[in-house]
Copies of this chain bind each other. A is one copy, B any other.
């Protein structure tokens, strides 16, 4: 087991933001009714409505897989397929949870940059109406993507309009949607409700929470039975106030945005710091808090002696470095310096 003060491996490795800890502490008074029927939860939901619009339904769950799978369960019948990028978290990193819980199939699509486009979806609809074939029902995208790229508002709207015109609903895995909003310099409503998406997994954990994600329904015909799905999905917290107050704090004084801006800035800094190293090639546009690079294998191995991080595509020698709200300039410079040395020794 290896641990580092500041890792570039994952934004899941971060501590809890001090403001969040404060909120948890301040809610720790007396008894309140369990399972969400409390004033903390009421208040947090109110905050969501201020940000995303009144005409939504919000539910808190424990984690990202829980948010994705239970949200998708509200959108998908078992004979339907969920179209997603081959790199999507639901496809790669959730151990088939969607298949098991929903009984459906994922339909992964190869992409260059983690983004789906109408032309990726159109050929998949040829099976429509054929009883022998899984029927595409939902498009699930990730914003910002697992490759650190961000859908522009235009890209989003084009995709959503196409999907709706084809009777597909649209789900957004927003584990890092704050980073996308920060990059696009827009509010959260612009890239969700206003873009027409149906259901959003709104990420908390990667952006400073201890635990907790929110499932936000913009299409309220889909939320009717969600409370039962959440419970069946083992995602109903008894002491709900402790998720609610974290979100309340995250959505107060733009903490969500400031955290995302910081993480994004650190990724840009890291990219800038390493882009002069000849052995390093940046393989994806740096639009959120990830830097994707290719580097020589032995340089990577030397670097791994000091910093743990994940290969993205071992065959291609591609690696992923993640920054987070608690990454500091000094952390970046130290890391970049270590990268430089690892590459040098190579030469």
- Report A's interface with B, CB cutoff 8 A: 1-7, 9-10, 12-16, 18, 21, 24-25, 28-35, 37-39, 42, 62-66, 69-70, 77-79, 81, 92-97, 99-101, 103-106, 126, 131-135, 205-206, 210-211, 225, 227-239, 242, 308, 314, 326
Collect the chain B residues with CB atoms within 8 Å of residue A234's CB. Answer: 62-63, 65-66, 69-70, 94, 97, 101, 233-235
B104 touches A99 (CB 8 A): yes
Extra A-B contacts (20), CB below 8 Å, given A79-B225, A132-B231: A1-B33, A3-B32, A3-B33, A6-B31, A13-B32, A16-B28, A31-B326, A62-B63, A66-B234, A78-B232, A79-B229, A92-B133, A93-B133, A95-B134, A96-B232, A97-B232, A99-B99, A101-B101, A103-B103, A131-B230
Knowing A93-B133, A211-B211, say if A205 contacts B33 (CB, 8 Å). no
Knowing A1-B38, A31-B5, say if A237 contacts B77 (CB, 8 Å). no
CA distance A15 to B5 in the complex (A): 31
CA distance A14 to B30 in the complex (A): 7
B15 touches A31 (CB 8 A): yes
CA distance A238 to B242 in the complex (A): 17
B93 touches A103 (CB 8 A): no
